Amino acid sequence: MKVKICGITNIEDAMLCSNLGADAIGFIFYKKSKRYIAPEKAKEIIKQLPIFLLKAGVFVNEQPEKINKIGKELKLNIVQLHGEEPPEDVDIVDLPVIKAFRVDETFDYRILLNYKNCSFLLDSFDEKEYGGTGKKFDWKNIPKELKQKIILAGGISIKNLEYIYKEITPYAIDASSSIESLPGKKDTTKLKDFLSELNRLRKY
């Protein structure tokens, strides 16, 4: 089970994620987010990071042409589309795509069938925010055939890591708010404990 630490806004947190064994980090380029980072600032951080650490850019309802421009300039590895982007946007984006879906009790998982050539991230629906809420949705409703293919987000913390690892078995998890001291700033102790627990589970 791989892990992406999202909402990175500074080099200290980025390096800590790398040193502690995170597989990927995420930069949020959505200006209304509490964890927004300007592309030019993210570019300076990325220049200082190891090449093997995957760098993801998170966009919300952005024009594909702009996404491609930022992806190329920053040398991103992955693009995460976290809004209401239509299936055709996936084909226009140059980099590998993670398409995020915000799940509530009325969510129809069949919508995923409309999207091709991308990975899927499932997050909790919130009327005001696109992710980073710390809320979880009902994971028991995830179709069995999807569980090992998805990236799971929303309400993931050290308290439920073992349950996720053993019962849901997603391809990856995406964590942010549970390991912060404030939005956009990771808590060193929480991050260390979180990744240490994940590495412990990975050994089984």
Residue positions annotated with a catalytic role: 6, 123
The CA distance from 185 to 187, in Å, is 7
What are the start-end ranges of the E strands in the chain?
2-6, 24-28, 54-59, 78-81, 97-103, 119-124, 151-153, 172-175, 180-182, 185-186
Q: How far, in Å, are 54, 99, 107 from residue 102 at the CA level?
A: 23, 10, 8
3-state helix, strand, coil in the chain (%, to 5): 35, 25, 45
Label residue 54 exposed, middle or buried (CB < 10 Å: 0-12, 13-18, 19+): middle
Decide: 68 and 44 in contact? Cβ < 8 Å. no
* Beta strand 180-182 pairing with 185-186: antiparallel
